[in-house]
Chain A
Amino acid sequence: MPILQVEGLSHSYGERHVLRSLSLAIAAGESVALLGPNGSGKSTLLRLVAGLLTPTAGRVALVGSAAAAGRPEVGIVFQEPRLLSWRTVLRNVTLPLELAGESLSNARVTAEAALKRVGASGLLDRSPAEISGGERGRVALARAMVRQPSLLLLDEPFAALDAITRARLDDELPELVAGAATLLVTHDVAEALLVADRVLMLGADGAIHLEVPGLRSLPAAERRAALLSPDGAARQTRLYAALDSVSHA
């Protein structure tokens, strides 16, 4: 049974339709990247899956039951890290556990492990204002993963970072989130291919137009080289052409 099953999903903001009859399934542990022009409904899809929006039509099933906000099976990383400035890094990561009623001492142990996993164990007592953009991205990832979700929703999580930091996080992401299925929204074709098993192209009409296999299954050290290989270049070309086509459709 897929971890996420989306069937005939449509959504409108008033008169503006952003998703039309979209269907999608993600298997356990699978990583799917969603590319598409602005306004095609990528972020809306993530919010519908996270239960933060109610669809106009269709259904979203998570592990067999309907989507609802705050389900522990789902972790989400927004475009901005959204760290709470008044809490330390560690207490930002304990937050989901505190909300779930866990004791602070237990939450600290789990949060420290999550921060260690994303390579941010040296930041525990720092304030979000004192750390770099890349570190904030890692902390936001640790917070999303601290409840050990089976589905991780990533809404352009590294879009605001400099190119080098972003490339490093793209290289590390598949291993950082290993075990969880991921649905990544991005505008970056290379990023999509590097971190996903499948790359889907969402059109301005809110429907999926193209599916291209990603490079995630390759060993981490080989993914960058594969991206630049003739096969990788061909995949990028197809995606760029489709992106151009759906943007002007």
Chain B
Amino acid sequence: MRRLSQLTPVAVAALLLAAWEFGVRAAAVPQFILPAPSVIAVRFAEAWADGTMLRHLVPTVTEVTVGGLLGGALGLLIGVTLGLSGSARRVVSPYLVAAQSTPILALGPVLVLWLGPGLTAKVAVCALITLFPVAISTLVAVRDVDAGTLELMRSLGATRWQSLRYARLPAARSGILAGARVAATLAVVGAIVGEWLGGTAGLGVLLNLARGSLFDTPLLFADLLQISILGVSAYGLVLFVERVVSKKIA
């Protein structure tokens, strides 16, 4: 048990991949059902070499970046406003919760109908899906700042804005960034689903192409691998921002 706990995540991944490779080959699983990791790796490299992956990655990264930043900024603004104002919270919170209970992804077809199959609809899906976790986590974190800290700020003559800038936001940063971490991975989900609904390029479009007209299961898995890498990168970027912010305010 202790030896198992000492295994690093990389070692665990290597073991799983080895088991997958061995299992698929031993059971002679057809490649169109489940390709071996080595086949996926080769297809992944080919897709990068012939430019397929890059062509589809760029629009997805654009949607995730623009939609994520837009949704994150709006979520932060809404969260701070509701966190500071009890009356605004009482009026708006029920609608926020109701909106969060509605599957944003189900709104995708409506957004495509309104905004067309281009970049705008996908950015809107990403923005909507990232807005709620950031808004809710910011609201809670800003509202629940230690009363003693706020009293200290008052005793030092801080204005409402100074109290927000010097105490509430720094104190709430862990909560806000926890929401941003969730939002970062959700932004990738939003972009992929937005691309399923229509479009000519993007990792979501490539999924449809690989599954449908190309019938290229190794490419499908290579695309899934690329989507995972994108999600992990987005998450890592938020962690990086978290570290920079912590150093900046110290």
Which residues of chain B have C-beta atoms less than 8 A from A86's C-beta?
A: 170-171, 173, 246, 249-250
Taking the nearest CB of chain A, how far is it from the CB of B59, in angstroms? 38
Q: Is the pair A69, B149 in contact by a Cβ cutoff of 8 Å?
A: no
Max count, chain B CB within 10 A of own CB: residue among A71, A96, A127: A96
Given A82-B149, A84-B149: A52 touches B250 (CB 8 Å cut-off): no
How far, in angstroms, from A70 to B153 measured CA to CA in the complex?
Answer: 8
Taking the nearest CB of chain A, how far is it from the CB of B27, in angstroms? 54
Which residues of chain A have C-beta atoms less than 8 A from B148's C-beta?
A: 78, 80, 82
Question: In this assembly, does B158 line the interface, its C-beta being within 8 Å of a C-beta of chain A?
Answer: yes
Which residues of chain A have C-beta atoms less than 8 A from B149's C-beta?
A: 82, 84
Q: Is the pair A71, B249 in contact by a Cβ cutoff of 8 Å?
A: no
Q: Which of B157, B167, B170, B250 contacts A70, CB < 8 Å? A: B157
Looking across the interface, which residue of chain B has its beta carbon closest to that of A46? B155
Which residues of chain B have C-beta atoms less than 8 A from A91's C-beta?
A: 250
Which residues of chain A have C-beta atoms less than 8 A from B106's C-beta?
A: none
Within 8 A of B (CB), among A70-101: 70-72, 74, 76, 78, 80, 82, 84, 86-88, 91, 95-96, 98-100
Q: Which of A80, A96, A127 contacts B156, CB < 8 Å? A: A96
Question: In this assembly, does B25 line the interface, its C-beta being within 8 Å of a C-beta of chain A?
Answer: no
Question: In this assembly, does A50 line the interface, its C-beta being within 8 Å of a C-beta of chain B?
Answer: yes
Q: Is the pair B249, A69 in contact by a Cβ cutoff of 8 Å?
A: no
Which residues of chain A have C-beta atoms less than 8 A from B155's C-beta?
A: 50, 52, 69-70, 74, 76
Q: Is the pair A99, B154 in contact by a Cβ cutoff of 8 Å?
A: no
Size class of the contact patch on chain B: 10 to 19
Size class of the contact patch on chain A: 20 to 34
Chain A window 199-238, contacts with chain B (Cβ cutoff 8 Å), 1 for yes, 0 for no: 0000000000000000000000000000000000000000
How far, in angstroms, from A82 to B153 measured CA to CA in the complex?
Answer: 10
**Chain A interface SS verdict (over half):** loop
Interchain Cβ contacts within 8 Å, total number = 52
Max count, chain A CB within 10 A of own CB: residue among B152, B170, B249: B152
Within 8 A of A (CB), among B109-152: 148-149, 151-152
Within 8 A of B (CB), among A93-135: 95-96, 98-100, 127
Which residues of chain B have C-beta atoms less than 8 A from A69's C-beta?
A: 154-155, 157
Question: In this assembly, does B228 line the interface, its C-beta being within 8 Å of a C-beta of chain A?
Answer: no
Which residues of chain A have C-beta atoms less than 8 A from B249's C-beta?
A: 86-87
Taking the nearest CB of chain A, how far is it from the CB of B115, in angstroms? 40
**Chain B interface SS verdict (over half):** helix
Q: Which of A72, A88, A99 contacts B158, CB < 8 Å? A: A99
Question: In this assembly, does B95 line the interface, its C-beta being within 8 Å of a C-beta of chain A?
Answer: no
Looking across the interface, which residue of chain B has its beta carbon closest to that of A96? B156
Which residues of chain B have C-beta atoms less than 8 A from A70's C-beta?
A: 154-158
Q: Which of B151, B162, B173, B250 contacts A88, CB < 8 Å? A: B250
How far, in angstroms, from A72 to B158 measured CA to CA in the complex?
Answer: 11
Max count, chain B CB within 10 A of own CB: residue among A69, A91, A98, A127: A69
Question: In this assembly, does B166 line the interface, its C-beta being within 8 Å of a C-beta of chain A?
Answer: yes
Given A52-B151, A86-B249, A91-B250: A71 touches B170 (CB 8 Å cut-off): no
How far, in angstroms, from A88 to B158 measured CA to CA in the complex?
Answer: 19
Which residues of chain A have C-beta atoms less than 8 A from B154's C-beta?
A: 52, 69-70
How far, in angstroms, from A228 to B249 measured CA to CA in the complex?
Answer: 48
Chain B window 149-187, contacts with chain A (Cβ cutoff 8 Å), 1 for yes, 0 for no: 101111111100010001100110100000000000000
Taking the nearest CB of chain B, how far is it from the CB of A100, in angstroms? 7
Which residues of chain A have C-beta atoms less than 8 A from B157's C-beta?
A: 69-72, 96, 99-100
How far, in angstroms, from A217 to B250 measured CA to CA in the complex?
Answer: 40
Which residues of chain A have C-beta atoms less than 8 A from B167's C-beta?
A: 84
Taking the nearest CB of chain A, how far is it from the CB of B150, in angstroms? 10
Q: Is the pair A95, B156 in contact by a Cβ cutoff of 8 Å?
A: yes
Chain B window 226-250, contacts with chain A (Cβ cutoff 8 Å), 1 for yes, 0 for no: 0000000000000000000010011
How far, in angstroms, from A86 to B170 measured CA to CA in the complex?
Answer: 7
Given A52-B151, A78-B148, A99-B162: A84 touches B170 (CB 8 Å cut-off): yes
How far, in angstroms, from A82 to B154 measured CA to CA in the complex?
Answer: 13
Using a CB–CB cutoff of 8 Å, the interface residues on chain B facing chain A are 148-149, 151-158, 162, 166-167, 170-171, 173, 246, 249-250
Chosen A-B contacts, 27 in total, with CB atoms closer than 8 Å, are A50-B155, A52-B151, A52-B154, A69-B154, A69-B157, A70-B154, A70-B155, A70-B157, A74-B155, A76-B155, A78-B152, A82-B152, A84-B149, A84-B166, A84-B167, A84-B170, A86-B250, A88-B250, A91-B250, A95-B156, A95-B166, A96-B157, A99-B153, A99-B157, A99-B158, A100-B157, A127-B250
Nearest 6 A/B pairs, CB to CB: A70-B157, A82-B152, A86-B170, A96-B156, A69-B154, A76-B155
